[in-house]
Amino acid sequence: MNAITPIPSYLSEEHLGPWETYLAQIAEVAPHLAPELRPWIGTLTAPKRSLIVDVPVRRDDGTIIHFEGYRVQHSLSRGPGKGGIRFHPQVTLPEVMALAAWMSVKNAVVNVPFGGAKGGIRVDPKTLSLPELERLTRRYASEINILVGEEKDIPAPDVNTNEQVMAWFMDTYSVNQGKTVTGVVTGKPVMMGGSLGRRDATGRGVFVTTLEALKKQGRTLEGARVAVQGFGNVGEAAARLMAGAGAKIVALQDETGTIINPSGLDLAAVRAHREASRTLFGAPNCEARAAEDFWSIDCDILVVAALENQITEANAGKIKARLVVEGANGPTTPTADAILAERGVLVIPDVLANAGGVTVSYFEWVQDISAFFWSEEEINARLDRIMREAFASVWGLSETRGISLRTASFLLGCERILHARKLRGLYP
């Protein structure tokens, strides 16, 4: 029996969600896996454990409103679950399943001793006041309390969650345990068990893997034209580090607008404008563009650091960049992936490109449980080394097997997971 759920061919791209994208990626890597590991592949195509919770919140006006929340542990074969928590109006169970599965693969690619997990609440946090957001976070933390713990499953920030949300989560868990447990979440404020370098870590990983890919292509960042989708934790840091290394950020897009300047945006000015007016539109020294024009902008490198399903059949053919770097999880559909490959566009996949965040999360967890904190220089040097080594392993596999960087990343990651799974064996 085939353990891989096939994707019905009558389903067109627009009906395929992130979980189907993940299954297509597993189907792609399956024939390349060592034969002795293949019998275990079914452990990758179904999450180990999924929890759906009701999160009731008392609003400031006294009324009670309910949200649906999730925590999925995809694989725990290599260690405790690890992965962020997302607050977004489009969060669904299959999306969280896919995000948890990508965490399993990502953690194995950079070889940190974690399984893969993810959580989320279907909520638009912009509609909540700060006290409501705190109550939402604390109730959600209590509801998923049965799954989390510093040795069981360790959440972190993701889309629309930040250091403050992690501080509330850590406090709620600690109050219920009767002791301070800093290691239950990562991405905390530095003054209460967080790690130096964590805030920029995902963007830094994007930056380091981009440099490695450019080296392979005999190019550098000096003068390279970069378009960035997403100006949150990942996109902002990646753009800033690339600009610092001589690149020109020629276009930026987020949910509030699309702006361009072919001679390079002034990022500090854009950041100040975005913070003050909550939109990219109207930032100094740039022109506004329609959202769909973003994909055909003249650039050498495209960084996608927003959400899933952004590069699709509809726009993959328009992309001018020769290098696409996935700062977000699952930004490219399988059809778009094939179009980019056909056109010779190199894609650094999410499970490699954005693994810097969880790598420094691992450092934070180690620092918390050993109560011994490292300098930012040590953290960045260790992060850079792990990212460069992971890139080299993936690149080597891609060359020797004649497969894409995505399939090579999946090969490296999935074989590590399945080896652990096979060694641990099936109980009973």
The answer to whether 227 and 294 are in contact (CB under 8 A) is: yes
Query: Which residue's CB is nearer to ligand GLU, number 97 or number 221?
Result: 97
Query: Which residue's CB is nearer to ligand GLU, number 112 or number 270?
Result: 112
Q: In angstroms, rounded to a whole number, what is the distance separating the alpha carbons of residues 33 and 36?
A: 8
Query: Which residue's CB is nearer to ligand GLU, number 82 or number 225?
Result: 82
Q: Which of 156, 336, 347, 420 binds ligand GLU (CB under 6 A)?
A: 156
Per-residue x/- mask for ligand GLU, residues 270 to 309, rule CB under 6 A? ----------------------------------------
Residues 6+ apart with CB under 8 A from 365: 150, 154, 183, 186
Of 83, 122, 77, which is closest to residue 102 (Cα–Cα)? Answer: 83
Q: Which of 77, 182, 209, 329 binds ligand GLU (CB under 6 A)?
A: 329
As measured in angstroms, the least distance from the Cβ of 6 to ligand GLU is: 27
Query: Which residue's CB is nearer to ligand GLU, number 327 or number 334?
Result: 327
Per-residue x/- mask for ligand GLU, residues 158 to 177, rule CB under 6 A? x-------------------
Angle, helix 267-277 to helix 233-244, in steps of 10 degrees: 160
In the chain, the amino acid numbered 315 is N
10 Å Cβ neighbour count for 390? 26
In the chain, the amino acid numbered 158 is D
Query: Which residue's CB is nearer to ligand GLU, number 108 or number 259?
Result: 108
The answer to whether 281 and 256 are in contact (CB under 8 A) is: yes
Q: Determine the residue with CB nearest ligand GLU.
A: 84
Query: Which residue's CB is nearer to ligand GLU, number 193 or number 357?
Result: 357
As measured in angstroms, the least distance from the Cβ of 191 to ligand GLU is: 19
User: E-assigned strands of 85-150?
Assistant: 85-88, 116-122
Positions annotated as catalytic residues are 118
Angstrom distances, CA of residue 186 to CA of 83, 126, 192, 360? 9, 23, 11, 9
10 Å Cβ neighbour count for 375? 10
As measured in angstroms, the least distance from the Cβ of 12 to ligand GLU is: 27
Q: In angstroms, rounded to a whole number, what is the distance separating the alpha carbons of residues 232 and 159?
A: 8
As measured in angstroms, the least distance from the Cβ of 322 to ligand GLU is: 25
Residues in the chain: 428
As measured in angstroms, the least distance from the Cβ of 74 to ligand GLU is: 13
In the chain, the amino acid numbered 154 is I
> What are residue 225's phi and psi, to 5 degrees?
-95, 125
Of 116, 29, 97, which is closest to residue 405 (Cα–Cα)? Answer: 29
Q: In angstroms, rounded to a whole number, what is the distance separating the alpha carbons of residues 384 and 388?
A: 6
As measured in angstroms, the least distance from the Cβ of 34 to ligand GLU is: 27
As measured in angstroms, the least distance from the Cβ of 103 to ligand GLU is: 6
233 forms part of the interface with ligand GLU (CB under 6 A): no
Q: Tell which positions 345-384 bind ligand GLU, by CB under 6 A.
A: 354, 357-358, 361
Q: Tell which positions 186-215 bind ligand GLU, by CB under 6 A.
A: 186
Query: Which residue's CB is nearer to ligand GLU, number 85 or number 251?
Result: 85
Q: Tell which positions 75-104 bind ligand GLU, by CB under 6 A.
A: 82-84
Interface residues toward ligand GLU, by CB under 6 A: 82-84, 156, 158, 186, 329, 354, 357-358, 361
